[in-house]
A and B are shown apart, each in its own frame.
Chain A
Amino acid sequence: MNYQTKFKKIGDKVKIGLTGTAVLLILAILAIILLAVIAGGYKSLSWEFLSQPPRDGMTKGGIFPAIFGMVFSLILMLIAVVPVGVATAVYLHEYARPDFILTRLIRGAVNNLAGVPSIVFGLFGLGFFIQFIGNGIDRSLGQSGLFGQPCILWASLTLALMNLPMIIVATEEALRAIPQAERAGALALGATKWQTIRHVVLPQAIPGILTGVVLVVSRGAGEVAPIMFTGAAYYLPYLPKLPTDQFMTLGYHIFVMTTQSPDIDATVPIAMGATLVLLALTFSLNIIAIIIRSRTRSQLRKGR
């Protein structure tokens, strides 16, 4: 081996090492954010912190209403987004002909929906759900300010719309993994198309749909821009009871405490704790999704 090729080889190693550094950088970013939030937030954590409402202008007390509101809105969001998302994926993968214009339009729409900025969803929620639908309902009922104002219902629907593509993509991926031979098997036994989907296809897609649900919950928990004008409140002295109430939610609460507080020094420790709670939640949800996915993949490999 002459010097030139040796030199080249070392050069190559250095360059490959550089791309490896990019991986390390990503790992480092993740680690630093995690460690910084844990280090800053763990002192605030306690049972009181999780179970008490904020006190003294949010400088003391806990974050319970924000957790409660978040769970409330996420449940409503799931009720809206899961059936629609799964049905859309089933249509695209099981019924639609791939080359039809309608199919392409739906795919294009889903893709574009995934790319719409989150704040634009917020604008839409305000303009459509609250101003148009909500006010419309109020007017027809001869009242005002019940539906035509920000509330959990509209915030959840806005979140649902925003997360629709994620459920569709996850479900479709799961449908794609099911061998065509099993559909053929069911049809050949005299099952109808819907029976085949209902009894053979969907049961196998459940882990994939579940992955989608987990990811959507995680994303929904952290999104602030779409809900800040459609239902989230700075501070509420009571817990929401109805979908037409406003709500506090964790992500928005963090934002409010770090940017809108008159006494930042007093609220930052609480905001740190809240951030830690939110991060722990989304982090564990994502890990759950990763585990479900790798399990189903290895099962698929074993089974067939």
Chain B
Amino acid sequence: MEIRENRLEIKDFSLYYHRTKALEEISMDIPEKKVTAIIGPSGCGKSTLLRSINRMNEMIDGVLTEGRILLDAENIYDRSIDVVELRRKVGMVFQRPNPFPKSIYENVAFGVRMGENKQAKGRLEEVVERSLKEAAIWDEVKDRLQRSAMELSGGQQQRVCIARALAVEPEVILMDEPASALDPIATAKIEELIFKLKEKYTIVIVTHNMQQAARVSDQTAFLMLGKLIEYGDTATIFTNPKNKTTEEYITGRFG
């Protein structure tokens, strides 16, 4: 069996939004079972790039793309690709916790219930428990699985959302500033969780918080005005950036 180190490859990828170029010919290889952070000033296109990886940009009218994004060597923008299958392989956690107004159990079970995986459907309770444990929230909610997820705190909601994404057994997890709406303690818990999750999953995280990027990620990409300015080891980017703009941004001279 071939072992590929880069499951996710972005190749000359551009995105237009009503004819303005939001992303310009971005190329980067995202390594497997590592955390890759995307940083940059607001409006630089980092969320757009993230949402391109599971094609969530298609929810917005007037979006056009060029170039390729390969998942296991398959171009996800090919016409023959099933977006639904793609999104089961590439899970997503949003900026604000967005649980459904259903019970905690139903939230986590949702993705499985919608899918065709008969096996997982057969042992739904097991899947829910495993996912909640993986998301480090099992102990807090195990006695109230039938209560509404809306009753939880913001940090708990976010971890339920992570569990919800894990339940469909994705390979890649996209996180769009997952802690920006949370307090420092909840943020620390999420970061801890990310660290644990990379044992099993490839993680791409967008953050505006550079300390966070430095703490959790292995690789860092710096984006500005829709262009990839620099990409490499997090340690290198933060201690010895090659590009002057990167250095200015890291040292907080703008942004």
Chain A residues at the B interface, C-beta cutoff of 8 Å: 97, 99, 179-192, 195, 199-200, 204, 303
Contacts and interface: CB of A to CB of B under 8 A. Distances in A.
A199 B150 CA distance: 17
B24 to A, nearest CB: 25
A303 B54 contact: no
A266 B240 CA distance: 100
Contacts of A192: 84, 114
B168 A189 contact: yes
A304 to B, nearest CB: 8
Interface in B103-144: 110-111, 113-115
A189 B165 contact: yes
3 closest Cβ contacts across the A-B interface? A190-B88, A189-B111, A188-B92
Contacts of B111: 189-191
Interface of B: 54, 56, 59, 61, 84-85, 87-88, 91-92, 94, 96, 98-101, 110-111, 113-115, 150, 161, 164-165, 168
B114 A199 contact: yes
Given A195-B114, A199-B114, A303-B150, A188 B100 contact: no
Nearest to B167: A189
Contact of A190 (B61, B84, B100, B101): B84
A20 B202 CA distance: 64
**Majority secondary structure of chain A interface residues (helix, strand, loop or mixed):** helix
A180 B59 CA distance: 10
A248 B99 CA distance: 50
A188 B150 contact: no
Given A188-B92, A189-B165, A182 B100 contact: yes
B114 A189 contact: yes
B114 A188 contact: no
B101 A188 contact: no
A182 B96 CA distance: 10
B61 A189 contact: no
Given A97-B61, A181-B94, A186 B100 contact: yes
Contacts of B88: 189-190
B56 A187 contact: yes
B115 A184 contact: no
A183 to B, nearest CB: 8
Given A185-B100, A187-B59, A189-B164, 7 more contacts: A184-B56, A184-B98, A187-B56, A188-B87, A189-B110, A192-B84, A192-B114
B100 A184 contact: no
Given A97-B61, A200-B100, A185 B161 contact: yes
A181 B98 contact: yes
Contacts of B114: 186, 189-192, 195, 199
